[in-house]
Structure 1
Amino acid sequence: MTCTKTVIMKKNMILALAALCMWACGQSTEQNETDYTQLSDEERLEIAHEIANSTIIVDGHMDLPLRIYSQTDGNPELTYDFINRQAEGNIDYVRAREGGVDAPFMAIYIPASYQETGGAIGLADTLIMMVEKLASSWPDKIAMAYSPQDIKDNFEKGLLSLPMGIENAAAIEDDLSNLEYFFEKGIRYMTLTHGKDNLVGDSSYDDSETHGGLSDFGKEVVKEMNRLGMIIDVSHITDKTFFDVAEVSKAPIVATHSSVRNFTPGFERNVSDEIIKKIAEKDGLVMITFGGSFLDQAYADANAEIRAHIVRWLEENNLTYRDAEAQEYIRQYSADKKPSVHVSKVAEHIDHVIKLVGIDHVGLGSDFDGVGDTLPEGLKDASMYPNLIAELLKLGYSKEEIEKICSDNFFRVWEKILSVAEEG
């Protein structure tokens, strides 16, 4: 009996010591967790660089293909020098590597004018070839990507991924089968409209309200995108079009490059709190964009006044935006008329979404090469993502939460969209 009691006492002592050890380890872990809010800006930035280099960063929208198109006069046979640092634009291979960006979605942008003139499919094909040429020209540095796994595999190999999305459903013209055509060519999302209403639905930049939301053809487009596993991008559409899409789509929906309307009241191009909640309800994603007019109302107001003046000046002087004289005038006139917007404002938009619907429904969608000189201080090009990460650390976000914002959320949503397609 005494022997049995001794064994039991020993067992209890071991269990007690184990519990004490677990508690102590837990306390140690908690005490060793860094409170990033208490660090200096320099210390946070150093950590931010480490996070950017070790984390996959997906960016939902960049207009690099259009820049290449302009620089090469639309000739897909010419090689654009993407691999070296460039004076123009917001991204090249060097700046992407410096900033830790790993998968910038290449926007195959179709201007609204092609809805009247035709030729949208041809332009899309040309832009796709230009993106593919980057990968074929530097296969040791760049690779195409068509799935979350492709991006992850490329990251492990040290390669920059170039996934693609079409901006403006005018690209498919009036033929539903063109969705599958582009999907087979590597397109993985499509923005339903751009600057004007099209056959699919109504644009937030157009007051015509041609369809009063999503057209009947647009409903078929949404269903076909679900079938293919193509991501539905709800940036650029009206609120009514958005809610029609949300009703029809069985899969999550994504705003690949939109910011929060709470900071820019009345700007329908940004997403309202009601829309953010609906996107989260469908397990989707809002990818915050970086343009100053999307981030700050004072900046948007000043930019609108400048634009109105320049339009009048161009008409009076019989010039276009592309004329050298006009470019110089625009540069001088605009130089000191816009309020400053800082990278911290992007972090505020991200923070707003998180406080509204949680950490799982926000990502990044810069619109680099698509918003001109309106980018905020500290976030002028692809080398500067660590500045944004540092601002998130300053707000108290952990490394794991920042990883969600950078790519984990997007991968989850994309994989869910693919699973919906597989289920049929």
Structure 2
Amino acid sequence: MRAQILAAVVPFALLLSMHAQEAPRVSDQARRVHDSAFVFDGHLHMINRQLHLGGNIGDRLPDGQVDLPRMKEGGLDAFMMTLYVMEQYYPARYETKQTLRLVNMAIDQLEQNRHLVELARDADDIDRINASGRMAAVLDLEGSFDLEGDLDVLRALYRLGLRVVQLPAHNWSNEYADSCCAPARWHGLTEHGRAVVREMNRLGIVINVSHASDETIAQALEVSTDPIVATHHGLRSLNDIPRTMPDDLLRKLAAKGGVIGFHIGNAFHNRAQFDWLTRHAGKPFWDTTEVAADRARLSMAEIDKRLIPQFPMVEARAPEELLMSVDQWVGVVDRAIQLVGEDHVALGSDFDGGPTPPRGMRDVRDIAMITDAMLRRGYSEARIRKFLGGNLLRVFRQVTNRQR
């Protein structure tokens, strides 16, 4: 989510206690529905940790929120494997080199764990991989592949298997699309930004507008001929911050056939925890002014070294009484369903991007708690299946499975 401003790392003893926390109880009905559903998480951070700390995505880790064994326990069938090009690489213009490093390592790690997971380039691949009993990984880029939006770089990354790309440069300004969380430069998209959208449509790359400004989202929806996703988001009507979506834009996103993925963290939906976190850190979680002010031309090795202490990405832990319950979190999804219907909501957890999940939820293992809460709210199994993966798969299939 925002490694550069995560609060101080949680003490190791607390991390161990979090890991050892007793598994939450889930009803037999919820377990049956969850285990039989297609579960597709639209935003799971992987590879950045391995790049900086070493290790393998197939290892069960004692901390953090994501690894393949825990994902399997959580019932995941597919996931957008988020590769995060952090802002620290931007001032020296290392963003494209960092993208290539992450993609290369992702492909290597997937190959090393091919008994559990395989890279999917389209929805037919997901179907085939799931039929073999394995998880499907979709390469997803968060941050900038090139601050100027070079279309040849985009085409090369497509050939390597990248299928989801964030339009803005995370919480940073790029040369063609405004971010939610940096001063506006273009009031949305430049003409080249529109060309980037059209090229993503042509190639069959899913456009992700999480971290985009309202104007950027609105203009991308006007230009794109494909549905658009906001992979990890919240509702501004519930927490008025730049990283959440106003109702009018959500309606436009849905009218285009798109999907909003709901972030598992409290900060997007729970004002009390957001305010506590902001006070604790001294600034909101998206603030990158310190990075922008640091114009020293560091080597990539020096930047890498600086970032090591930020992994695993864990927020400072707010008091338990400030955290929302899983039922309250599902209430956020319910608000969106009331606005745009059940065909436009999805899971986009952002696990290992720093979120503090609802009370009682440890990590990716516990996604079935959402299924249980949805059943308590009276959701039909069909609605739950749409949220857990059906809606996101529909958009992914539409964008990637067509003759070009």
TM-score by length of 1: 0.79
1:154 corresponds to which of 110, 115, 129 = 129
1:71 corresponds to which of 53, 61, 83 = 53
Q: Does 1:354 align with 2:337?
A: yes
Q: Does 1:296 align with 2:279?
A: no
Confirm or deny: 8 A CA contact 1:285 1:361 kept in the other structure. yes
Instruction: Please tell me the residue identity of whatever aligns with 2:234.
Output: S
Q: 1:221 matched to which residue of 2? A: 196
Q: Does 1:366 align with 2:341?
A: no
Q: Which deviates more from structure 2 when the two are superposed, residues 342-351 or residues 98-107?
A: 342-351
Distance 2:180 2:247 in 1: 16
Which secondary structure state, in structure 2, belongs to the residue aligned with residue 59 of structure 1? strand
Q: 1:308 matched to which residue of 2? A: 282
What does 1:262-273 align with in structure 2 at a 5 Å threshold? Answer: 262-265=237-240, 267-273=241-247
* TM-superposed deviation, 1:59: 0.7
Q: Residues 172, 182 of structure 1: CA spacing in aligned structure 2 closer, same or farther, 3 A cutoff? A: farther
Confirm or deny: 8 A CA contact 1:191 1:234 kept in the other structure. yes
* TM-superposed deviation, 1:215: 1.5
Q: 2:325 matched to which residue of 1? A: 342
Q: 2:164 matched to which residue of 1? A: 189
Distance 1:262 1:106 in 2: 29
Q: 1:417 matched to which residue of 2? A: 399
Per-residue CA deviation, residues 374-418 of structure 1 (Å, 9 max, x unaligned), is 222233311001101101111111111111111111121122224
What does 1:37-52 align with in structure 2 at a 5 Å threshold? Answer: 45-52=27-34
Q: 1:55 matched to which residue of 2? A: 37
* TM-superposed deviation, 1:310: 11
Distance 1:128 1:323 in 2: 19
1:205 corresponds to which of 174, 181, 202 = 181
Poorly superposed stretches of 4+, deviation over 3 Å:
169-174, 320-324, 333-338
Confirm or deny: 8 A CA contact 1:302 1:338 kept in the other structure. no
Per-residue CA deviation, residues 184-231 of structure 1 (Å, 9 max, x unaligned), is 11111111120111122111111x211111122111100100111111
Instruction: Please tell me the residue identity of whatever aligns with 1:95.
Output: R
What does 1:370-381 align with in structure 2 at a 5 Å threshold? Answer: 370-372=353-355, 374-381=356-363
* TM-superposed deviation, 1:64: 1.4
Q: Which deviates more from structure 2 when the two are superposed, residues 243-252 or residues 106-115?
A: 106-115
2:216 corresponds to which of 241, 245, 256 = 241
Q: Which has the higher contact order (CA 8 A, sep 6+)?
A: 2
Q: Residues 273, 68 of structure 1: CA spacing in aligned structure 2 closer, same or farther, 3 A cutoff? A: same
1:396 corresponds to which of 358, 373, 378 = 378
Q: 1:178 matched to which residue of 2? A: 153
TM-score by length of 2: 0.83
Q: 1:16 matched to which residue of 2? A: none
Which secondary structure state, in structure 2, belongs to the residue aligned with residue 389 of structure 1? helix
Which secondary structure state, in structure 2, belongs to the residue aligned with residue 106 of structure 1? strand
Distance 2:317 2:128 in 1: 44
Confirm or deny: 8 A CA contact 2:60 2:69 kept in the other structure. yes
Q: 1:278 matched to which residue of 2? A: 252
Instruction: Please tell me the residue identity of whatever aligns with 2:359.
Output: E
Indicate the structure with greater helix content. 1
Distance 2:400 2:69 in 1: 32
Residue segments in structure 1 that go unaligned for 5+ positions in a row: 1-40, 73-79
Q: Residues 84, 108 of structure 1: CA spacing in aligned structure 2 closer, same or farther, 3 A cutoff? A: closer
Q: 1:25 matched to which residue of 2? A: none
Confirm or deny: 8 A CA contact 1:170 1:199 kept in the other structure. no
Instruction: Please tell me the residue identity of whatever aligns with 2:73.
Output: E
RMSD: 2.7
Confirm or deny: 8 A CA contact 2:273 2:318 kept in the other structure. no
Q: 2:20 matched to which residue of 1? A: none
* TM-superposed deviation, 1:306: 0.7
* TM-superposed deviation, 1:323: 9.7
Q: Which deviates more from structure 2 when the two are superposed, residues 216-225 or residues 48-57?
A: 48-57
Distance 1:343 1:173 in 2: 40
Confirm or deny: 8 A CA contact 2:145 2:153 kept in the other structure. no
Distance 1:309 1:240 in 2: 24
Distance 1:90 1:302 in 2: 22
Per-residue CA deviation, residues 121-163 of structure 1 (Å, 9 max, x unaligned), is 2211111122222221122222111111211221121112211
| Greater Rg by CA | 1
Distance 1:391 1:139 in 2: 33
Q: 2:367 matched to which residue of 1? A: 385
